[in-house]
Amino acid sequence: MRKRSAPRRHSANKKKPVTLDGAPIQLSIEGLSHEGRGIARHNGKTLFVAGALPGEEVEARITKTHRRFDEAQCINVIQASEDRAEPICEHYGVCGGCDLQHLTHARQIEEKQRIVLDQLERLGKIQPEATESPLHSPASKYRRSARLGVNQLQRDNSVVVGFRRRASNKLTRIDHCPVLNDTLNQTIQLLQNALDQAGQVRDITHAEISMGDQEGALTLRIKKRPSDALLDAISLAANQLDLRLYLDDGQNTLAYTDAADLHYRLPDQDIKLSFEPGDFLQVNAGVNEQMISRALEWLQPTPDDRILDLFSGIGNFTLPLALNAGEVVGVEGSDTMVQRAAANAEANGLANCAFYRANLSNDLRHHRWFNQGFNKIVLDPPRTGALEAIKQLEHYQADQILYVSCNPSALARDAAELVAMGYRFSRFCVMDMFPQTSHVESLALFEKPEK
């Protein structure tokens, strides 16, 4: 039985952050944090400065004080970095979606790579043997999915469709977002227009847009069903953009009229992957395709390989690996995803795939699939990482383990565990899946030393 951890003690005297609006101070910016804020020193404390870049002299105003660090907002750039860029969005600085538009895209990628390597060294005490070229896409129009808030203001009944403001629960009305593809931007406009004309729309809380290669889905998250007149108007407008309308009441997601044919292709592998509204898919199609190709390049699957794909989703890695591997087993925590992946394998004529459901944070030894032998493993975990699963993989003595990371600190922790198990940290690259933001993903390959 797993022991329960002792309850945390909370000091009654623990100080809360103090919000300030003081006089401007002049700062020299020494670096960039993993959140995309400039790093400076002031009165012996570290200061995180939103809107400032390394090498700059700025005026800033302290906005919050903490025991170990303070936060500030840049209000004037005295000496600008040569990497400073003009933001591409009129909402930048207010909308909470992007935090690096004031930095050139090339330097964004450099900083993301530096930040991940720094976390690996500082937290994991490890470094890769080889760092390969980053995977990246254009810095605009790259997103094929988005989640928008919907709010009807009480003061005048006007409707706001948009994204959350920075450090706030309030929404900023967005008519156009430069990181969304054209269809998503057109969908925002049609939804805003339809809701503006509808009157009462307080039963709609969110709208999610997911685009496949040909058709897309517009899913409304609702507290109770809106009027058919409103839904008909939205559905009619959405159909013009090859979008099908869905309703999500928190229990079920149902098509309002005809269901969409949602799918995307991996052109280099000639694989078609179908998905449904609410399924996880990588929002950046271009970087996803590059990621799959690099994974195949590193793993070099052959008919002699038995590969285990943990956190397999709809089969984004499983199916490409199965093209050349002897057998691939995908494991995922959701029954729905397991069924979707199995259907995708069948639709692509891949009979050497098997899919199972398991909670990958729990003991896996009682599962039938776990007791099979695997010589290569893929891990694509959520932000919390895959430490519990990794601890149970040692008995396979797999030749290669590919780790797909969306959280540098979790990668550092898990990579250190793999190195402690005897693996070489042989290859690494960052993936700029989310240009204009501080989010960074990466690929890491671990290999058993040759005997």
* Other CB atoms within 10 A of residue 266 CB: 18
Give the length of the chain.
Answer: 451
Binding residues for [4Fe-4S] cluster, as ranges, are: 89, 95, 98, 177
Binding residues, as ranges, are: 89, 95, 98, 177, 282, 311, 316, 332, 359, 380
In CATH terms, 145-255 corresponds, of 3.40.50.620, 3.60.20.10, 2.40.50.1070, 3.40.50.300, to 2.40.50.1070
429 tagged catalytic: no
The catalytically annotated residue of 74, 353, 406, 429 is 406
Asked if 303 and 327 touch (Cβ cutoff 8 Å), the reply is no
* Other CB atoms within 10 A of residue 370 CB: 19
Give pLDDT, residue 156: 85
Give pLDDT, residue 20: 58
Domain 18-84, CATH: 2.40.50.140
Residue 121 DSSP SS3:
helix
Give pLDDT, residue 186: 96
pLDDT block averages, 10 residues each, the chain of length 451: 38 52 90 96 96 98 94 97 98 95 98 98 98 98 97 88 92 96 95 85 93 96 92 92 95 91 98 96 98 99 99 99 99 97 99 98 95 96 97 95 98 98 98 98 97 67
Binding residues for S-adenosyl-L-methionine, as ranges, are: 282, 311, 316, 332, 359, 380
Domain with CATH 3.40.50.150 in the chain: 110-138+284-447
Give pLDDT, residue 6: 40
Domain with CATH 2.40.50.1070 in the chain: 145-255
Distance in angstroms (rounded) separating the CA atoms of residues 304 and 302: 5
Burial of 143 (0-12, 13-18, 19+ CB in 10 A): buried
Domain 110-138+284-447, CATH: 3.40.50.150
Give pLDDT, residue 153: 87
